[in-house]
Amino acid sequence: MPITAGGRISGKLQGFTLGMLNVQSESLPSEGIPASNYAVLRVKRDVLSRSTVGAFLLNREKAGSDDFNRVYGVDGKLAIRKHFTMEAFLAKSTQSARVKDNWVASGDAQWNSDFLLVGMEYLSLQPNFRNDLGYIRRGNIRRFTPALALRPRPPIPGIRQMEISGRWDYVLNQKNRLVERIDEYAFQLTFQSGDVLRIVPLQHLFDRVEKPSAIKGIRIPAGDYAWNRYSAKFQGFRKRKLAGSVSFTHSYGYYKGNLYEWGISPVLQLNKKISIDADYKISDLTLPSGSSTSHTIDGGFSYTFNKQWLTNTILQYDSGNSFVRIHSRLNYIFRPDDDFFLIYSESRYVGGAQQGLQDRTVQAKVTYSFDF
């Protein structure tokens, strides 16, 4: 979506943390998308020693019509002693047509120390709640998520900390019928070198597909699906000259099929000025009604001319839909915490019926701080 202009103001003023964002987009007549305005307002106040209360407003309005969507709500965080915290928020959406059952509420409480994590999260999302500035994967739900983790520091040479954890995610509709479930059991080792090995020997997943859908163009009939997944990931210490990660995941029984995923993400810091990173993923999907193998490649290059001039370029390629995107950014720091950015982005399809340029944008962005 092309952007005409936008602005953001953020900072602290007399004990309040403020954030305001406004973006105006252009219309796309060829796709029937009108120009729209997007706005976000956030106010937060620190209370007690480590607690906060706040309020927020999100707004989306289409130009030349009365079509709008607004979300407004309140939130808070209460920190009790050193390790125990409670958080909650309550929000309501409004739009052009008057509707009921348009609330969302969430709360969580957790004890999180170096040795022990015990927590519970809760989310209630009513069927007519809508947020045009965000993505809601599944509406009309109630989610319960208990979690437990033990983190001993054993006297084993080379081992800094172990973690044994479990997380159980239950999603029900408002009629208390199970629609989604994830049970995860994990083991993690943090080495004295800074490397991290995480193994998930078992994830049990359940998904109730209420309407026929598709994954990578392969049809998924409506029905109940259950499968298991195991995975492993090794993350190298990030401050080495050569770092990165490797990962593997196998989902067996995945929508009555199989899904294999491999990933490698090397990071090379050549010197203080030049760094190169890459991310290569392979996804091999086999389902009763078809199969798909895709390769996704992301590459990044960063060069620091000096303390004021920096540049970064990212190249992305997805073989699944023959899509290529390049994103380049030039950053000039004209004083501490104040920047000028010049950004160029281009995306195109390199095969298939949509072959050709998809979009091209050039953006200029300035940040400037005021001291009160």
Among the ranges given (15-29, 251-265, 268-282, 292-306), the one the predictor scored with the smallest mean pLDDT:
15-29
Query: Is it the case that residue 32 has pLDDT exceeding 80?
Result: no
Amino acid, single-letter form, for residue 155: P
pLDDT of residue 26: 84
pLDDT of residue 1: 67
pLDDT of residue 117: 98
How far from chain centre, in Å, is Cα 186? 21
- The label of the residue with tokens 């080792």 reads 189
Q: pTM (2 decimals)? A: 0.87
Q: Compute the average pLDDT of residues 162-183.
A: 96
Helix (H, G, I), strand (E, B) or coil at 219: strand
Among the ranges given (124-133, 226-235, 249-258), the one the predictor scored with the smallest mean pLDDT:
124-133
DSSP H or E segment with residue 107 = strand 103-112
Q: Compute the average pLDDT of residues 164-191.
A: 96
pLDDT of residue 353: 67
Query: Is it the case that residue 76 has pLDDT exceeding 90?
Result: yes
Q: CB-based contacts of 95: which residues, under 8 Å, 6+ apart?
A: 67, 68, 69, 70, 130
Q: How confident is residue 63, by pLDDT bands cut at 50, 70 and 90?
A: confident
Give the residue, 336 or 296, on which the prediction is more confident: 296
Percent of the chain with pLDDT over 70: 99
Query: Is it the case that residue 74 has pLDDT exceeding 70?
Result: yes
CA distance 119 to 83: 11
Q: Compute the average pLDDT of residues 206-222.
A: 93
Helix (H, G, I), strand (E, B) or coil at 34: coil
Percent of the chain with pLDDT over 90: 74
Q: How far apart, in Å, are the Cα atoms of 285 and each of 212, 219, 255?
A: 18, 12, 10
